Amino acid sequence: MVQQHVRGAQALAAGIGALPDTRSSAAYTQAAWRFLNNERVGLSTLAKPLLSAAPGLLDAHCERYGLVMHDWSRLNFGKHTRKADRLKMTHKTDVGYELQSSVLVSDVSGKPLVPVVHNLVNDTQVHTTMHARPRAHQKHLDELSERIGWIDARGWDKPLVHIVDREADSVAHWREWSAQGSLFLVRAKDAPQVCFEGGPVKPKDLAERLSYQSAGGVLYHGHTAHQTIAQAKVLITRKAKPKHSVDGKRVAPVAGKPLALRLVVSRICDAHGQVLAQWLLLTNVPEEVDATTIARWYYYRWQIESMFKLLKSAGQQVEDWLQDDALAIAKRLVVASCACVLVWQLAAATSPQALDIQHFLVRLSGRQTKRRRPVTAPALLAGMWMLFSTLTLLEHYDVDQLKQYAQFIFPNRYGNHKDV
């Protein structure tokens, strides 16, 4: 199924994928289409191999903790009018589905390992790999709380740390996650106050009062920069301000127990000490994990963005898929995720054979890669498609036939031919 998906995802590219006999290719396409639209093939059942692979990947690639990156991405199907269940997201032409994903990432290397949850939101409901039936719409963070609880309840040999961007700056949800024993790392907003040494202060202002230590050189927008780190123990004592309303009226702020967290400030500076970027991070991860590691873990969050890129534009072209509804798209997303895992595993392998295969697939892909990153996931995925297509080609033509065709088409390169 993964092989047929990868071949199908490259449908817009001309090449040898079209050369095997068209009846066979059509049969593959029809079989895949029937599979994705088969009501007896449940989304949660289809995702079981991904979830089953996660504990082994956690054990093999994570040292002390597993990192789970959570994010949201819009899939635009504005021109796909046959998809009658599209969701209007921001404006009348921004229609499609919202993808909500959670990806397990290594705490050592930051490499993505496996998606553990996918939700796909259409105009009326949420198709999720967590449950057999669709769920009702929820606010982002309310749904995320359910997702975090579901993931943690699976039982893991190492603790998980849930990493989210600034959308998760919500004291009500922090209290909920802490109460259920979940570890989290979120990027805080500048203004909401924390309590430091007995007094209220904005995180941005507190950052100016801290002492910083060097964390070494980093690349920032392609240029060499310097990272510095500071941290402080803070209390969250403010009331939660729910965004829900009752009868059109905003719900009153809700008091809660003081929440002890750690503020970690990560700064990127140029050679003159000028601050180029700053991240204010709040976490309940134990202090055995130092501030530099916390900052590095948040930096790894970009890996989920790389997964979205791999799905959208770097090989699988999700926004070109022609399935008629969100459920069929969600099923194909699970298959596409299996292809991602295969590529990630190959990219992370370091054996001589694996390195040889990596370079072979990159060459086969025909993609230009940078010297400092000679092997990329998109190039491996494209090379894998070429390999699948070549193997299929060899099922229909032997090597001597292919050589004859090459000699006929390219006589100057492959030798003279006699026109029969």
Structural element, H or E, at residue 95: strand 95-106
Beta-sheet pairing, 160-164 with 183-187: parallel
Residue 15's pLDDT is: 37
Residue 365's pLDDT is: 86
Q: Where are the alpha helices (DSSP H) in 118-262?
A: 140-152, 171-179, 203-207
Task: With a cut of 50, list the residues of the chain below it in pLDDT.
Answer: 10-26, 28-29, 417, 419-420
Distance CA 157, CA 155 (A): 7
Supply the pTM of this predicted model.
0.86
Structural element, H or E, at residue 3: helix 2-9
Residue 37's pLDDT is: 64
In the numeric block, which tokens belong to residue 60? Answer: 């093999």
Distance CA 348, CA 371 (A): 18
Residue 274's pLDDT is: 92
Residue 367's pLDDT is: 82
Q: What 3 state SS string does 224-259 have?
A: EEEEEEEEEEEEECCCECCCCEECCEECCCECCCCE
Q: What angle do CA 317, 303, 90 make, to 5 degrees?
A: 55
Burial of 96 (0-12, 13-18, 19+ CB in 10 A): buried
Ordered by start, the domain boundaries in the chain are 345-414
pLDDT tens-place string over residues 231-244: 999 999 988 877 66
Distance CA 123, CA 347 (A): 37
